[in-house]
Amino acid sequence: MSQGSSDLLQRFRDGEVEAFSRLVEDLGPRLKGFFLRQGAQGSTAEDLTQHVFLRVFQSIDRYQPSGRLDAYFLRIARNLWIDSRRKKRPYSAGENLPQEADPGPSPSDLADVEGRKDALRNAMASLDDSTRELLDLAVLQDLPYREVSAILDIPVGTVKSRVFYSLRRLRGLLGGIDPAKEGES
């Protein structure tokens, strides 16, 4: 999120109604993507995203600005995801990860990019839930380790070592494809 939007929730609480709409525009796609990468179905991801905003709306009077706003929303999203997993049947990890196309300058480039995305998607799907969640927050969401630590309720040092070893494992699963180049997937 941009620096100017970091106080949108505070502005909404102070009476600026448009600020909440902007929050939905700014964070909605990221939250939905988070849920999809965790394995939620498309409509379930949309429902969970709406529930995040509903929870924020319902608890606006208790909101205390501290840290990054996107981390605040992702913590709520994670908690909702955990709650929904407790209530539902197990899912096949990764079966519903986003399948968005990445247009390339030529068909052969496109095929190469899609092949790498598929490989990364399959490798991510083979990881356990907690590792996939950790990489989503630290790498794909690009949150600082301090924020990931707070969301997952583990020490910062543990976040650092788990990210390091998880990326190493992911590289091994990919067999030479560099996951750092696949960050946009």
Domain shared by 121 and 169, yes or no = yes
Q: What's the distance, Cα to Cα, between the start and end of the chain in Å?
A: 19
Could you please report the per-residue DSSP string of 57-104?
Answer: HHTGGG----S-HHHHHHHHHHHHHHHHHHHS----TTTT--------
Residue 138 confidence (pLDDT)? 86
Segment among 24-28, 98-102, 109-113 with least mean pLDDT? 98-102
Residue 104 confidence (pLDDT)? 42
For residue 78, what is the domain's CATH number? Answer: 1.10.1740.10
Quick one: pLDDT band at residue 107, thresholds 50, 70, 90?
low
99 in a structural domain: no
Q: Which domain holds residue 24?
A: 3-87
Q: What is the pLDDT of residues 149-185, one digit of tens each?
A: 988 889 999 999 998 888 888 888 887 554 444 444 4
Domain count, the chain: 2
Give the domain-ending residue among 24, 52, 87. Answer: 87
Both tokens assigned to 85: 């997993």
Residue 113 confidence (pLDDT)? 59
